[in-house]
Amino acid sequence: MYFNPDTLAFVDGEFVKAEAAQVGAYAQSLHYGYAVFEGIRAYATSAGTRIFKAEEHYERLHYSCRSIGLPFKYSVEELTDITYQLLEKNNLADAYIRPLVYAGEPNMTLKHASSSNLLIAVWDWGKYLGDQSLRLSISPYQRPNPKAVPIEAKVSGHYVNSIIASSEAKGRGFDEALLLDMNGYVAEGPGANFFFEKNGELFTAPQGSILRGITRNTIIDLAREAGISVTEKFFTPDELQGAIGAFYTGTAAEVVGIAAIDELEFSVPFSETLGAQLAERYRALVTGALVAQTA
């Protein structure tokens, strides 16, 4: 699914066959989760393939490298240019893009790496959490303590928390987990930000224990442009009582509705909520239709 014999990936300055891209068993990143990555999407638009918010994503990749002391020599412009070339070489317009900066040298020490490697992979990927409204369960796992790790960086090792939380929820028959932070406030999903709608307004967790996603920021902008109030605040699961809807946002998931959180069932179908209106505007924005409409 991620590649076939013809797929090309970008590895350390060259376009190579994806199936030949390898990492050594002694790589520091493999042993310690010491790597950073991005999740980006490109969309087919009337003006051709367009990478959505390439600059924001590649700036965040730089920030993630700095956060863990991983040296990285590519500029945002170079990365964007390489990604467009890679999409073209693979004949992809609608695509998911996965840059990974890793320490591939054999190294078992707990010191910052002195060099890094870059992989950029691209593939065709539908909405990560599907199209149907999700049934979530509050996870017994919390999001990592922001005083233990740079929580706003997309560090590979952080995703062990995501894998175990998501798998645990699925093991109990739910579609996905919803994680609280160390203080018991609702934080986010394993790979997406959480919003809920109550009394005609939207609420989402503030900076603290979450990755403030690029999709989250886009949705906040779209909501405010549409005159919808969005409040960033800490809230406990109890405050979800009386909410009429909720949704997850993320580059891979895009905007996906939430039908229930444990025994709390939302009273209104997702299609009738603010989240659905914003999902439509988001799609129009990423595919270039919203620009055309307002131009």
CB of 115 to ligand PMP, least distance (A): 25
Find, among 162, 147, 168, the residue nearest to 253 by Cα.
162
| Using rule CB under 6 A, residue 98 touches ligand PMP | no
Q: What one-character-per-residue DSSP string does 50-66 give?
A: EETTHHHHHHHHHHHHH
Q: What one-character-per-residue DSSP string does 243-292 give?
A: --EEEEEETTTEEEEEEEETTEE-SS-GGGSHHHHHHHHHHHHHTTHHHH
CB of 239 to ligand PMP, least distance (A): 20
CB of 66 to ligand PMP, least distance (A): 17
| Using rule CB under 6 A, residue 216 touches ligand PMP | yes
| Given 144, 245, 250, 257, the residue binding ligand PMP (CB under 6 A) | 250
| Using rule CB under 6 A, residue 251 touches ligand PMP | yes
| Given 92, 192, 220, 258, the residue binding ligand PMP (CB under 6 A) | 192
Q: H helices within 51-173, ranges in order?
A: 54-68, 76-89, 159-171
**Could you tell me which stretch among 69-77, 101-109, 188-196, 268-276 binds ligand PMP (CB under 6 A)?**
188-196
Read off the tokens for 272. 């009738």
Under rule CB under 6 A, which residues in 37-56 are in contact with ligand PMP? 39
CB of 137 to ligand PMP, least distance (A): 17
| Given 215, 254, 256, 273, the residue binding ligand PMP (CB under 6 A) | 215
The one catalytic residue among 53, 73, 154, 233: 154
Euclidean distance between CA atoms 245 and 260, whole angstroms: 9
| Using rule CB under 6 A, residue 204 touches ligand PMP | no
Give per-residue burial for 257-295: e unless 16+ CB within 10 Å, then b: bbbbbeebebeeebeebbbbbbbebbebbbbbebeeeee
| Residue nearest to ligand PMP according to CB distances in the complex | 213
CB of 52 to ligand PMP, least distance (A): 10
| Using rule CB under 6 A, residue 99 touches ligand PMP | no
Query: Is residue 248 within 8 Å of residue 270, measured between CB atoms?
Result: no
Euclidean distance between CA atoms 64 and 56, whole angstroms: 12
| Using rule CB under 6 A, residue 61 touches ligand PMP | no
| 154 belongs to the catalytic site | yes
| Using rule CB under 6 A, residue 181 touches ligand PMP | no
| Using rule CB under 6 A, residue 11 touches ligand PMP | no
Rounded to the nearest 10 degrees, how much is the dihedral formed by the CA atoms of 12, 15, 17, 18? 60
Active site residues: 154
Which residues of the chain form contacts with ligand PMP (CB under 6 A)? 39, 188, 191-193, 211, 213-216, 249-251
